[in-house]
A and B are shown apart, each in its own frame.
Chain A
Amino acid sequence: GAGVSQTPSNKVTEKGKYVELRCDPISGHTALYWYRQSLGQGPEFLIYFQGTGAADDSGLPNDRFFAVRPEGSVSTLKIQRTERGDSAVYLCASSLTAGGGGNTDTQYFGPGTRLTVL
């Protein structure tokens, strides 16, 4: 595809439910990132994948959050037992490479999924 896509665009769920958020990176991009953006704030890093493996998951707030990228392309962010405080926009980004300088590690973002937990 031309850019990073994320589905769904909006998700409304009830407290305690399980949700999955999907990210399709730019074709050929090896690195994929998840960020969370609360209202009126800048995005905060959650996790980053290099290929299929999570290279840095230091931003995941607790063990209710989990992400996978089984084939090194599409990624799914999974949130168990959702809480009202999980309400935010979840942004996905991808880059051609990870690190190494140059422009190939520039992160390109998708439009995000707005999650609302009632």
Chain B
Amino acid sequence: AQTVTQSQPEMSVQEAETVTLSCTYDTSENNYYLFWYKQPPSRQMILVIRQEAYKQQNATENRFSVNFQKAAKSFSLKISDSQLGDTAMYFCAFREYGNKLVFGAGTILRVKS
């Protein structure tokens, strides 16, 4: 079975600084998709960024970027210029051939002013 591991239960960062959230996964497949979702206290899961495994270029979305290391099965999220609104639970998720997402346990990110 596929597994997703987020080794950092909690992280803190000062406003305007950069923070990196870690994620590793386990699969025997070559084609798959990786995602980072943000879940604020409102419970709404919001897609932050998506990466296709066949693409070598790391995905970026404004202040959010990933470091995708396929051989190491690592998929970290970098948040630049952190803002107070970035405070949330962040989930790494994996999807291969089927359609179900497999989520990690999450990392609570607190942005401090």
Contact = CB atoms under 8 A, between A and B. Distances in A.
Interface of A: 31, 33, 35, 40-45, 48, 55-56, 58-59, 89, 91, 93, 95, 98-99, 101, 103, 105-112, 114
Contact of A111 (B43, B50, B93): B43
With most chain A CB atoms within 10 A of its CB, the pick from B33, B102, B103 is B103
Contact of B45 (A41, A59, A91): A91
B63 to A, nearest CB: 20
A35 to B, nearest CB: 8
A42 B108 CA distance: 12
Interface string B8-40: 000000000000000000000000010101000
15 contacts: A33-B99, A33-B101, A41-B105, A42-B105, A43-B101, A43-B103, A55-B99, A56-B99, A91-B45, A93-B45, A95-B99, A99-B97, A106-B47, A109-B45, A111-B44
Interface of B: 4, 33, 35, 37, 42-47, 50, 52, 91, 93, 97-106
A84 B50 CA distance: 35
A107 B101 contact: yes
A41 B106 contact: yes
Nearest to A108: B47
Nearest to A55: B99
Nearest to B42: A111
Contacts of A55: 99
Nearest to A31: B99
A42 B43 contact: no
A89 B105 contact: no
A106 B100 contact: no
B87 to A, nearest CB: 17
Given A111-B44, A112-B43, A42 B104 contact: yes
B47 A45 contact: no
